[in-house]
Amino acid sequence: MRKKNKKPVVTGNNSRTNPNKSEGSPNFSGQHFLHNKRAVCDLIETAKITKKDVIIEIGAGLGAITLPLAEKARMVIAFENDAAYVQKLIGKVEGESNIKIVHGDFMRGYLPREPFCVVSNIPFSITTPILRKLLEDPSTPLQRAAIILEIGAAKRFTSSVMTNPQLLSWRMRYDMELVQTLPPSYFSPPPKVECCILSIWRKASPEVPCRYGAFFTGLAEWGLRNPKLPFGEAFSTVFTPPQLKHLASRLGIDRDKPVSTLNEREWGVIFQTMLDHVPSYRWPKTSHNQKRKRD
């Protein structure tokens, strides 16, 4: 049984909204609140929460997910940027010692230094910035996540055809899976498109060690500069012809295979081959490093 506090912990005061804003005000953030209890249970079950876990919830609203999360987790850190919702949420979670309400913008907030998970029905309008904040830095101790987002975005994140080097870098460290679809009627206000639960799990053995993250990003940006290029042509300035022939044989692929259809394991083999057999001066640099050099 959890200990009860008289008042919940509330931090931050960075809301950009009017504290007197009513629930009927326009939804500027792209937030569609989940009200189906079965879907809430499915979302939490997807993340396999235990009593040892610290959970971040992004866009807590009125606590439909917050309170069930607190039943299973050690601590729930609930971000909410709307002052009106924060006040209502405070009343709902009063007495819960393992819920910390952060009144502020998640994108400006700090992530825990200890391992954490994310369970959230995120604002759809900032899906990619949220995932970038969670996944971009290899040292961020995110362990797993269950996130509700638009199904079109989830299909892009889980596609077998890879055209985005940033997404590829994320997937070298995390497994992503579209778990189940959710109809618009489960939300208020209902979105115009179907939604889904996306699971994100940190790989026990990532394809690329964290310390090599920037070097892999350089290779990914170079290899996917034109996703339609065949494998052999995409990497012709990185590897010698004999190396390319050996790589294709080792991977069991044709040199004409489009580079965008390579999977994470194949990218891992290509990257390790570059580390082992290609002089470092020939390694592709990230666009960030190239820009810094010009500046």
Polymer length in residues for the chain: 295
Q: How far is C-alpha 106 from the chain's CA centre?
A: 13
- According to the annotation, is 175 in a ligand binding site? no
What values do phi and psi take at 178, rounded to 5?
Answer: -80, 110
Backbone angles phi, psi at 171, to 5 degrees: -75, -15
Alpha-carbon distance of 57 to 137, in angstroms, equals 19
Q: Is 121 annotated as a binding residue?
A: yes
CB 84 within 8 A of CB 60: no
DSSP, res 107: G
**DSSP assigned state of 136:** S
DSSP symbols for 228-289 = TSBHHHHTTTTS-HHHHHHHHHHHT--TTSBGGG--HHHHHHHHHHHHHHS-GGGSPPPHHH
Residues 175, 132: contact at Cβ < 8 Å? no
Residue 199, beta-bridge partner list: 146, 177
Tokens of residue 258, six digits:
């489009």
**247 has binding-site annotation:** no
Enter the tokens of residue 59.
Answer: 């866009």
Residue 24 labeled ligand binder: no
Q: Is 32 annotated as a binding residue?
A: yes
264 labelled binding-site residue: no
Across 22-80, the runs of DSSP E, i.e. the strands, are 33-34, 54-58, 75-80
Binding residues for S-adenosyl-L-methionine: 32, 34, 59, 80, 105, 121
Q: Which residues are annotated as a binding site?
A: 32, 34, 59, 80, 105, 121
